[in-house]
Amino acid sequence: MKRKHYGFLALVLTIACVAGVAVYAFKGFEKMAGKRRTLKFRPPPVTVSVPGGDELREMRKLEHKLPVVAHPPGLEISAVNLSLFGYQPVKERTYRGAGKKIVLPPQMRYSVSLAFSAKTRRFCVIDGNFYQEGAALPGGGKIVKIEPRRVLIRKDRLKCWVPVGKAARDTGGAVGSRE
C-alpha cells in the first residue's frame, strides 16, 4: 500500500468504529424502550420510643446539673495541644523593674504576599486576606501606605515596613520606627 493512502485508510477505520458504537448504542436503547425502570426507595422503619411522663419528670429534675456534667469545675487543662497548630496564647509583655512598669513594643506578625499600587488605588494581600490602604488588620494593626514592593503597617505607636514575600516578625523597632 502506498503511503499516500494511509490517511484514507485511517478515515475509513474511524468511520467503521463510530458506526459500530452507534449500532451498539441504538440496540441498547431499543431493548430499554419497552421497559421502565424506577428505583423505589423505602425508608427504613423508625422505631423511636417516646419516654413516658415519669422519665420526663426525672429528666427535668436533672436539667440544672447538665452544665456541671458537661463542663466540670476545676478542669482548666486543654485536651489538645494547640501549639502544634501554631497557636500562641496572648500574654501581656511587661517587665517590672525598679518599681516601674515597662511595656514592650507590640508584635508585628504580618506576611505580605502581594502589593499593588496605582495612581488612585492601592491593594495588598496580607496573611491571605485582601486589603485596601487604610484598612484595619486583625491584631490591632492598620495599613498606612502601600508601595509596589512593601507595605507600611502601624500598630499602636510602632510603624513597620513589611516587604512583599517576607514576614515581619517581632521587629521591636529594628525595622519599624516609633511615632
Strand partners, 150: 147, 163
Q: What's the average model confidence in pLDDT over 60-68?
A: 76
Averaged over 142-164, what is the pLDDT?
88
Nearest by Cα to 143 from 169, 171, 108, 118: 108
| Alpha carbon distances (Å) from 99 to 91, 96, 103, 177 | 21, 7, 13, 27
Asked if 151 and 168 touch (Cβ cutoff 8 Å), the reply is: no
Model confidence at 175, pLDDT cuts 50, 70, 90, reads very low
pLDDT of residue 45: 75
Per-residue HEC secondary structure of the chain comes to CCHHHHHHHHHHHHHHHHHHHHHHHHHHHHHHHCCCCCCCCCCCCCCCCCCCHHHHHHHHHHHHHHHHHHCCCCCCCCCCCHHHHCCCCCCCCEEEECCEEEECCCCCCEEEEEEEECCCCEEEEECCEEEECCCECCCCEEEEEEECCEEEEEECCEEEEEECCCEECCCCCCCEEEC
If you average pLDDT over residues 119-128, what whole number do you get?
A: 87
Greatest mean pLDDT among 1-10, 40-49, 91-100, 101-110 lies in 1-10
Please state which CATH number belongs to domain 110-178: 2.30.30
pLDDT in tens, 8-56: 999 999 999 999 999 998 888 777 776 666 667 777 777 777 778 888 8
Under a CB-based contact definition with an 8 Å cutoff, are residues 164 and 115 in contact? Answer: yes
User: Taking the model in full, what pTM does it have?
Assistant: 0.39
Show me where the domains of the chain are located.
110-178
Higher confidence at residue 127 or residue 37? 127
Of the chain, the percentage scoring pLDDT greater than 90 comes to 16
Mean pLDDT of the chain: 77
